[in-house]
Amino acid sequence: MKIFTILQSSFVLSAVFAAVLPDSNDSNQLELNPLEDDESSSSNDDSNDDIPTLCSKGEYVISSSAQLEQLYECDDIIGSLIISNYQQPTIDTGDIKTISGDFVVVNATNLVRVDTPKLRKVGGEFVLKELTSLTSLNLPRLTQIGSIRWNVLPILSTVSFGDNVEKISSIIISDTSLIGFAGFNVEYLDILNLNNNRFLESINLNLKGVKQQLSVSANAKNILVSFPHLEWANNVTIKDVSSINLDAIEKVNSSLEVIDNNFQAFKLPKLSSVGGTLSLIENYNLKEIEFPNVSEIGGGLKIVNNTQVGKINFFPKLNVIGGAIEFLGDFKEASFNKLKLVKGSAIINSKSDGLDCSKWIHGGSTDDSVGASIIRGGNIVCTAGSKQQTIKFDQEGEIIDEEISIIEDNDSKRKNVDYSNNGNKLSWKIDLTDFIFGLGILLLVSI
């Protein structure tokens, strides 16, 4: 018996991903009708020869245990089973073995327990929504599910499956008291989204691929996340995580976001490409970063406010960045040995005076020789301590305009130098305050 370990809690978790989960008013729009008795015990329809008419009505809206018990004679429900405005403390699906459509439970504030003793398959969505008294799910034979969408189950205490779930396409679980998540024997999912489960301390799945979205965020601060066999994913978001294992991942088709985590090391030894933007943002304990085989980033590259990172030098094979770059922090070095092309602009801002901005201007980030920049058709704004350089490039990487600003401590005065693209024209710009001050001195002298 596979069991999700759950921690009982009286806290109600309120944060919900509205973009993914349904609007809270949807459940109020269900039309409740009493289940009608049917004199016929079997159907003459050739497509459902052995299915009683009672069991093949397309949609069942249930509001009481008495209505539900009328379906006990059905091994198979052809349609969706929707339980809403249910007042009893337990739901028992009796002898029902399969539900071809959705299995939905909503608007049941007194519900404490759901038992599905013989249910093996839900063809559509298995939806549990806003069941604030629900403490346990007993699903001993359920192995095939179209998708799971569980949201706002704040005191759920036990979820038990029998054999491993071997067929499911999507899992979205939010606002529960789960403390562990494992036991799914599937290799591929469309969506895995586990968010705002404040007691969830471990996730361990043997997935190989995620077709649309892999997102883990806002769960327990000490959560340990492991996807040891994951080879590829479309979009990946890792947020508020204490430990992460993505050692096998080779490709991210779209974006990879690593935000506000607690781990000290983030290493993706096999990752070769990211199709969209790669973001490392506000991981305040992060010290060790390794992307040894990434050669191409299709979108932008953001490395922002990772306060323990002193050098941005962990992309030794990166050749092309398809979008803009943004580096912000207290780093002394930003070097990319193989980088040849950045198709967008660049914002590089370090508190350290030790950062050499010139390496980003002429001939690439690590080449001191004068040549075309790796930035094509955009701008570089590079700040190192009190010195800021703003450079504009054409599509060939040649300098169109350059401005150097010396930022004083009070940030009240800046002196700027402009260079044309041939470097022969030089002009000084003095701000209005300096001009007025100088003019006043001249007037006093003349008097």
Over the stretch 284-294, which tens digit does the pLDDT of each residue have? Answer: 999 999 999 99
Cα 401 to Cα 381: distance, rounded to the nearest angstrom: 12
Task: Yes or no: say if 312 and 335 are a contact pair by the CB < 8 Å rule.
Answer: yes
Tell me, what's the pLDDT at 127? 99
Does residue 394 lie within any of the structural domains?
Answer: yes
Domain membership of residue 424 as a residue range: 295-447
Q: Which backbone phi and psi does 326 adopt, to 5 degrees?
A: -140, 115
User: Taking the alpha carbons of 267, 268, 269, 272 in that order, is the dihedral positive or negative?
Assistant: negative
Distance of alpha carbon 114 from alpha carbon 112, whole angstroms: 7
pLDDT tens digits, residue range 292-347?
999 999 999 999 999 999 999 999 999 999 999 999 999 999 999 999 999 999 99
pLDDT number for residue 43: 39
391: in domain: yes
Place of tokens 């809690």: 9
> Is 34 in contact with 179 (CB distance < 8 Å)?
no
Residue 310 CB neighbour total at 10 angstroms: 16
pLDDT at position 179 is 92
Sign of CA dihedral 8, 189, 105, 73: negative
Pick the more confident residue, 430 or 188. Answer: 188
- pTM of this prediction? 0.81
Q: Is 109 among the domain residues?
A: no
* Residue 368 banded pLDDT, cuts 50, 70, 90: very low
Q: Mind listing the pLDDT tens digit for each residue in 70-86?
A: 999 999 999 999 999 99
In a domain, 285, yes or no: no
Determine contact, residues 277/301, Cβ cutoff 8 Å: yes
Give the pLDDT confidence of 24-79 residue by residue, as tens digits.
334 333 233 444 444 333 334 444 456 678 899 999 999 999 999 999 999 999 99
In this structure, which amino acid lies at residue 430?
A: I
Is the residue at 270 inside a domain? no
Burial of residue 122 (CB within 10 Å: 0-12, 13-18, 19+) is buried
pLDDT computed for residue 372 by the predictor? 62
373 belongs to a structural domain: yes
Question: How many whole angstroms separate alpha carbon 300 and alpha carbon 325?
Answer: 6
Look at the chain and report how many structural domains it folds into: 1
Distance CA 237, CA 119 (A): 34
Residues 81/58, Cβ–Cβ less than 8 Å: no
Structural domain contains residue 260? no
Whether the per-residue pLDDT at 14 is higher than 60: the answer is: no
β strands within 268-385, DSSP E: 273-274, 278-281, 288-290, 296-297, 301-304, 311-312, 320-321, 325-329, 333-334, 341-342, 346-350, 379-384
Residue 139 has pLDDT above 80, yes or no: yes
Query: Is pLDDT at 217 greater than 90 in this prediction?
Result: yes
**β-strands 158-161, 2-5: how paired?**
antiparallel
Residue indicated by tokens 């066999």: 229
pLDDT for position 359 = 80
- Please state, rounded to an integer, the average pLDDT across all residues of the chain: 83
Say what percent of the chain tops pLDDT 70. 77
pLDDT of residue 378: 83
Is residue 443's pLDDT more than 60?
no
Q: Which residue has the higher pLDDT, 190 or 364?
A: 190
**Of 320 and 373, which is predicted with more confidence?**
320
- Look at residue 434 in the predicted model and tell me its pLDDT: 53
Residue 341 domain flag: yes
Burial of 90 (0-12, 13-18, 19+ CB in 10 A): middle
Question: For a pLDDT cut of 90, what percent of the chain falls above it?
Answer: 66
C-alpha distances in angstroms, 104 versus 27, 222, 412?
A: 10, 32, 63
